[in-house]
Structure 1
Amino acid sequence: MIADFFLKLSLPEWIVIIVAIVLAGGAFYYYHRTLPPLSSVRKYFLLVLRGILLILIFFLITEPVLKIIERHQEPPLMVVLYDNSASMSIPEKSGRRADSLLYVKNFIQSQKKKLDSLRIEEYAFAVDITPLQTDTLDFSVDGTDISNALSTIIDSLSGENLQQILLVTDGIYNRGSNPLGLLRNFHIPISTVVIGDTALPRDIAIRRVQTNQITYVNKEVPVEVTIWNNGFQGQRSVITIVKDGKEVARKIINLQQSGFEQKISLTLTPREVGDLNYTVLIQPLEDEITKKNNRQAFSVRVLKSKLKILVMSGAPNFDRHFLSFVGKQLNDYDFTFLTEKNRGQYYEANFQSVALDSQDLFIFHGFPTGISDANQVRSLFKQINQRKVPVFWFISQKTAPPALSNYQDQLPFSITSRISPMENQLAVLTQLGRLHPITQIDENETINEQLWKDLPPIEVYPQLKIPEGVQLLLVVPRTTEMPATQDNIIPVAYTYRRNGIKYFVFNGANFGNWHFQLQEDQTRESLFREFLQRTIRWLVNKDDIEQIQIKPTQKIYNVGESVVFTGQVYGNFYQPVYDATVTITLKGDSAYQVSDEMLPLGNGFYRSLFSGLPEGKFQYIIHAERNKQLIGERKGSLTVKPFFLEFQHIPANGELLRKIAYNTGGEFYFPAAFVKSFPSGSFETRTYFLTKEFFLWRFLYWLPLFILLLGTEWFFRKRWGLL
């Protein structure tokens, strides 16, 4: 409805009126006397045409703007949110919770037709929120995020006349934040309808399973299971751990006080190497409300017995002592140290007493030297070449380039001149170093960068040349004036792959200061120990010698949990490929199949996320190509286990819903009371005004009008014989 309108001109109105009168007078003067003379009717007809044309042209010169103010009435809006999570399927004395929710839903929909003045929009929510459709409510989603549902509605309908939100749920949330924390930003009443019994039912649930993520074959592993029960105090039950349908651990327990958690300790002994999947089961008891929370899956990565590491050191200096000091703290590794005394002789033991063929990693610290036994060096490189043993190089002044001259094709560096140090140099992280698992000590990028910042200085060796394909993690700029590019930096730490062998090179000495000078810095006193441990793990990990280093973040996921793939893609020289096209295909036990193209994150890292995978085992194929040239493929598997997050806490959370309603000015209802009082509260129609502007001088239809007026005038002038 148009409430008002007015015309705005660029000139004052009195000027416009005067000019219009003058133009009209000019038209009158022009046709006052004509040759040949015309009748008064014809004369005034032509006069009007000319006057209108002149006045319209001047009118448009004043840039007229027509403003129209419209008045609109917007009816009030109520949004109804229905809980679509799996907890709605919990059976109770009066029936399923879903039955109560559907009763409320059907009642609201029956009232919508009667409430012409109230607009009602309905949504279903669980982990995500969607508009309500005929088949939307299936009560199968394992997870509830009430905060996300409320925030989404507020954000998406902020411009609407939203006057009330009705939340129909059991109040159980297990995803996202506590919705009470959001209420300070809400200015809309939220009424709540509690679905389900708020009293504790008779039930046993496995709440948590904790164990070592990594262990060794034939080594006993502790497993701590946290259970909860209500109504079964003093009764007996049995907890078992199962792998591939076979029982590997069992314990008979007495259930303790109702309503409290209870910790149970079990042990298992893995008999094989690999990523092993286990399931903890607790025996169901009579009258349990549900058995879906009586099981929980977990996985353990099982390695062979302790990894053996041989450390060959060129001299008994401070750094060598520090390596031994840190090695004693790394209990998962069996270190053997040989520190050179004379040619072929060592302080700790004879070289022949060390079983080279059983070593999993070689660490060369300032070795070989100028006095090293050539036959022993040859034996070491033979093992590296034949068994693809990874090597950790610590370059120092003791490292003798002539002793390595016969092994240039097996080295991750080249040194063509005598090694001389640059002292008191500060190492800094590269862009790749911020993301690489070796130097990413903390997942928070800001915290990680602070850990590596301003470390005690070390001495570095600028004579070391790096081959193509290295991944620089730590560097020292040659001069402060020059930017830190690969052409003018000194490499300090980098990784390299060659002929199926992994290398890590640390081009520096006095790294022991990174520990001893930082002992009073609580955030960094363990930096070098963590750095050394991460480097060893990276070196001995045979999986990532492949060019496609993308895999799922874990081997077992729960139903409803997002499956995340992340990692890097490398080229032929093991350089990160940042512009590859990477696709993942997931195939389930049945005909289920889904594909996705991974999102590039920079520096060769890619990421992809899959949501809503059903229970079962999945095979994945990762395909990477660049410019339609195949880089490679990687295959693997993962498992999606039923976890039943919605059944970990059974009682309806009426207290939460009561607080939500109270804090926002809404009402709290049980279903029966709700249908008697709906709709409650005052709903007001909102009046708002909408202003529209029309720039009349910009409209193109004036041109044909001018042509029509001018053409008509001249047509009749010619027809009537005017000069």
Structure 2
Amino acid sequence: MQLQTVFLILFAAILAFGLVIFQYYYKSKSKGILYLGLSFLRFIALFSVFLLLINPKITKEQYSLEKANLIILADNTSSIGQENGVNQLINAKKLIKENTNIAEKFNVSEYVFGNELNSLDSLSFTEKATNIGRALSSLNEIFTGSTAAILILTDGNQTLGEDYEFYAGRQKFPIFPLVVGDTTSYQDIRIDQVNTNKYAFLKNKYPIEIFVSYQGKNTASTVLTISEAGQNLYRKQIALNDIENSQIISTVLDATTVGIKNIRISLSPLENERNINNNSRQIGIEVIDEKTNIAIVSHILHPDLGALKKSIESNEQRSVSIIKPSLSPNELEQFDLFIIYQPDTSFEKVYSYIESKGANIFTITGPKTDWTFLNKVQNSFQKNSFDQKEEVTPILNPGFTHFDITNLDVSEFPPLETTLGESLITASYENMLSQRIKGVDLNEPLFTILETNLRREALLLGENIWKWRIQSYREDQDFKKFDDFISKVILFLANSKPRSRLTLEYENIYQGLNEATIKATYFDETFVFDDNATINLVLNSIANNTSRQFPMLLKNGYYEADIRTLPSGDYSFTANVKDENLTKSGKFTILEYDLEQQLLSSNYKKLGRLAKGTNATLYFPSEASNFIEDIIKDNRFVPIQKSKQNVVSLIDFKILLGIIAAALTAEWFIRKYNGLI
């Protein structure tokens, strides 16, 4: 309490005493115990009132002891189940968790990880991917601002994510690895990676690239075999040693029949090789006999042409040719779809051919478009162009229904260049994107889809779409989102079948570690997305003829069924909408591949570098008691005494108001009773 406040309280007591003397004894001859009692009550009331006016603050100091955090992080992947890793991990965790000295010094928290970090519920050792970097990053966020140490029980073999050894430089807490599993190095030959195309075309060749590596001191010889349905397609003898311990094998195979091909790649095992799980790899290739030939017709050179070609050909089922409008009708026969880029009078023969064939087209206009010609040569849309250039930014229509655009974000897309003018679309259409100029919405189409009984069309009223593809790369370090968007436009235009109210999106082949999902989009009779539908997915295993039913859950503009829990094999499925006569069917294959089983020995050397990089120590299962002794003695984790000041104003004490009221009331009754009032 401040000295000034003490003087004020003392002054309040003197003032209250002086007032009592003046009121009861000044020029008064009355004395006795009655007046003494009344004087005391009056003093108490006055002094309490003055205290409330001064309102002194009372400070109370509270002390607490905060213990450091010990985070036990256990590897829950299937690689721990090899050898004696499970027993080592469980025994070490139990020994540390139940130690009384650890409990006295630390707040112990337990987590498990595979691909993601989770609170410890139980250990199953069934997760199929190890992401140590993500687990450590998540713990940094959870325990930020506190004193902590991480004990990680793992074999050190990471299969996904950022390399945890290099992550150590950004780690806030010391990490104490306790290595579980077999630390012995064995002679091992394995297939590290297989690169191939997802699709192949009938009667064409498709490439396969195989990365083989060897661990051991002596020279090893093995035979690489590529087979399908038990029939050998390729065979090669390979020799490796401790110096030349890796090799890349490239070959091409023939696509002779249509369908999904399960290709098995295998290495003959070495003598006394312990881990043969990594000697084989299975891949899936779909052989198709259809290829969409697309013509980009342009009389000018522009970056948009190359961007469209690259984007469309990212799907290998499509081939793009950039042609001049002067081609003859016989030369145009080879194309299934036409992209008309900024047409002028030289396009008259092309439009005549398109009209005669009823082909679907994608028209892209810009400042170099001859709108007088374009308005005359077709009757789907018109534009009163003022020949004044302007930059327009896109506005997405979230209610667009012709195909799924939920992953399309155009908010950061650069503007396109167009000419000002009012557009009139005479065919049935739906806007995907509209125009905005300098923050003003024009309610004019920028990218629209047109559909009649005869054909489908797309119309883009602006050039420089290549900038959108570059922006997609800036955001995601790849072109996938933009290429997928263009792919959906082309798929819509290439398909002339009547529009379906129920559409499915799925892969024909799922790798073991891939995100296996089936998506569905459902529209009501007016082709508005229906978010109240009940869609069920019935899966049938072709191998054992068993069925399972999955409900499709509503996500952001689509329905989805997660099938990642299915075992490998071939499946057929049917999606049906409840209370509607709508069904869709399909087939897919889930390939068997467990990356966790590819590595047999623990990577203790890498874990040792992780420990060193975070100023910690590496331990083995037999040294769990040493870890307990070391961390208890470590002065970095001593409990911290923290103090907290609790400042309370006297006016917050309601009892003081009660004392004032009681003193004044008692004084009044005593005076009344004795006839002094």
**TM-score bin (small chain):** 0.7 to 0.9
Structure 2 CA distance, aligned partners of 1:230 and 1:468? 65
Instruction: State the partner residue of 2:394.
Output: 430
1:257 positional shift: 1.0
Larger mean Cα displacement after TM superposition, 491-500 or 207-216: 491-500
Q: Percent same amino acid at aligned positions?
A: 19
Instruction: State the partner residue of 1:215.
Output: 200
Structure 2 CA distance, aligned partners of 1:299 and 1:500? 38
Distance 1:705 1:585, change over 3 A: farther
Instruction: State the partner residue of 1:672.
Output: 622
Aligned 8 A contact 2:198 2:284 in 1: yes
Distance 1:675 1:28, change over 3 A: same
1:639 positional shift: 5.4
After superposition, what is the alpha-carbon deviation per residue over 1:471-494, rounded to whole angstroms, capped at 9, x for unaligned?
35585x6xx6x644243x5x5543
After superposition, what is the alpha-carbon deviation per residue over 1:632-689, rounded to whole angstroms, capped at 9, x for unaligned?
9977676554432223343322222222222222222232244346321424232221
SS of 1:23's equivalent?
helix
1:463 positional shift: 5.2
Distance 1:687 1:271, change over 3 A: same
SS of 1:470's equivalent?
strand
Instruction: State the partner residue of 2:472.
Output: none
Instruction: State the partner residue of 2:55.
Output: 63
Structure 2 CA distance, aligned partners of 1:13 and 1:325? 82
Instruction: State the partner residue of 2:142.
Output: 156
Instruction: State the partner residue of 1:257.
Output: 240
Instruction: State the partner residue of 1:88.
Output: 80
Amino acid at match of 1:107: L
Amino acid at match of 2:17: A
Larger mean Cα displacement after TM superposition, 177-186 or 650-659: 177-186
Please give the root-mean-square deviation of Cα atoms over the aligned residues, in Å: 5.5
Distance 1:655 1:354, change over 3 A: closer
Amino acid at match of 1:192: P
Distance 1:198 1:529, change over 3 A: closer
1:75 positional shift: 3.8
Distance 1:18 1:460, change over 3 A: closer
Matched pairs, number: 640
- The equivalent position to 2:357 in structure 1, one of 365, 370, 380, is 380
1:697 positional shift: 1.7
Distance 1:426 1:22, change over 3 A: same
| Match status 1:170 vs 2:155 | yes
Distance 1:470 1:166, change over 3 A: same
Distance 1:641 1:15, change over 3 A: same
After superposition, what is the alpha-carbon deviation per residue over 1:403-435, rounded to whole angstroms, capped at 9, x for unaligned?
656xxxxxxx333xxx77554735544143999
1:444 positional shift: 10
Instruction: State the partner residue of 1:519.
Output: none
Instruction: State the partner residue of 1:360.
Output: 336
Instruction: State the partner residue of 2:652.
Output: 698
Aligned 8 A contact 1:249 1:266 in 2: no
Aligned 8 A contact 2:338 2:362 in 1: yes
Structure 2 CA distance, aligned partners of 1:276 and 1:582? 36
Structure 1 CA distance, aligned partners of 2:387 and 2:61? 78
| Match status 1:646 vs 2:596 | yes
Distance 1:570 1:667, change over 3 A: same
After superposition, what is the alpha-carbon deviation per residue over 1:198-217, rounded to whole angstroms, capped at 9, x for unaligned?
44324343322211233323
Structure 1 CA distance, aligned partners of 2:573 and 2:143? 40
**TM-score (norm. length: structure 1):** 0.70
Amino acid at match of 2:78: A
After superposition, what is the alpha-carbon deviation per residue over 1:274-295, rounded to whole angstroms, capped at 9, x for unaligned?
7766554555566443344344
Distance 1:47 1:596, change over 3 A: farther
Structure 2 CA distance, aligned partners of 1:422 and 1:668? 74
Aligned 8 A contact 2:325 2:347 in 1: no
Distance 1:592 1:539, change over 3 A: same
1:53 positional shift: 2.7
| Match status 1:393 vs 2:363 | yes
Q: How does 1:226-625 map to 2 (within 5 A)?
A: 226-230=211-215, 234-237=220-223, 239-242=225-228, 246-247=229-230, 250-258=233-241, 260-265=245-250, 267-270=252-255, 280-282=265-267, 287-309=272-294, 317-318=299-300, 332-333=318-319, 348-349=328-329, 360-362=336-338, 366=343, 379-381=356-358, 390-393=360-363, 396-397=370-371, 399=373, 401=375, 404=378, 413-415=380-382, 422-423=386-387, 425=389, 428-432=392-396, 449=413, 462=422, 464-465=424-425, 469-473=429-433, 483-487=439-443, 489=444, 491=445, 493-498=447-452, 502-507=456-461, 536=490, 539-540=493-494, 546=500, 551=505, 555-559=509-513, 561-563=514-516, 598=554, 600=556, 613-616=565-568
1:264 positional shift: 3.6
Amino acid at match of 1:157: F
**TM-score (norm. length: structure 2):** 0.74
Aligned 8 A contact 1:240 1:281 in 2: yes
After superposition, what is the alpha-carbon deviation per residue over 1:499-555, rounded to whole angstroms, capped at 9, x for unaligned?
5954212457999999xxxxxxxx9xxxx9999888645532679955677745885
Distance 1:361 1:592, change over 3 A: same
Amino acid at match of 1:62: I
Aligned 8 A contact 2:512 2:590 in 1: yes
Instruction: State the partner residue of 1:663.
Output: 613
Instruction: State the partner residue of 1:200.
Output: 185
Instruction: State the partner residue of 1:21.
Output: 14
SS of 2:239's equivalent?
coil
Aligned 8 A contact 1:583 1:622 in 2: no
Structure 1 CA distance, aligned partners of 2:664 and 2:123? 69
Aligned 8 A contact 2:220 2:241 in 1: no
Amino acid at match of 1:655: K
Structure 2 CA distance, aligned partners of 1:434 and 1:426? 25
Instruction: State the partner residue of 2:165.
Output: 180
Structure 1 CA distance, aligned partners of 2:37 and 2:577? 81
After superposition, what is the alpha-carbon deviation per residue over 1:592-628, rounded to whole angstroms, capped at 9, x for unaligned?
777685554xxxx669796973535788899999xxx
Structure 1 CA distance, aligned partners of 2:433 and 2:167? 42
SS of 2:151's equivalent?
strand
SS of 2:278's equivalent?
coil
After superposition, what is the alpha-carbon deviation per residue over 1:564-585, rounded to whole angstroms, capped at 9, x for unaligned?
678988888878x7x9578887
Structure 2 CA distance, aligned partners of 1:720 and 1:665? 84
Distance 1:62 1:548, change over 3 A: farther
Larger mean Cα displacement after TM superposition, 368-377 or 46-55: 368-377
1:691 positional shift: 1.7
Q: How does 1:38-187 map to 2 (within 5 A)?
A: 39-40=32-33, 42-91=34-83, 96-112=84-100, 116-133=104-121, 136-162=122-148, 164-186=149-171
Structure 1: stretches of 5+ with no match in the other structure: 1-6, 341-346, 385-389, 406-412, 515-522
Distance 1:550 1:661, change over 3 A: same
After superposition, what is the alpha-carbon deviation per residue over 1:72-110, rounded to whole angstroms, capped at 9, x for unaligned?
22344433322222221222xxxx222322332233245
Distance 1:247 1:551, change over 3 A: same
Distance 1:52 1:533, change over 3 A: closer
Structure 2 CA distance, aligned partners of 1:655 and 1:607? 46
Structure 1 CA distance, aligned partners of 2:538 and 2:146? 44
1:168 positional shift: 2.4
Structure 2 CA distance, aligned partners of 1:428 and 1:61? 68
Structure 2: stretches of 5+ with no match in the other structure: 469-476
Distance 1:77 1:172, change over 3 A: same
1:30 positional shift: 3.9
Distance 1:188 1:337, change over 3 A: closer
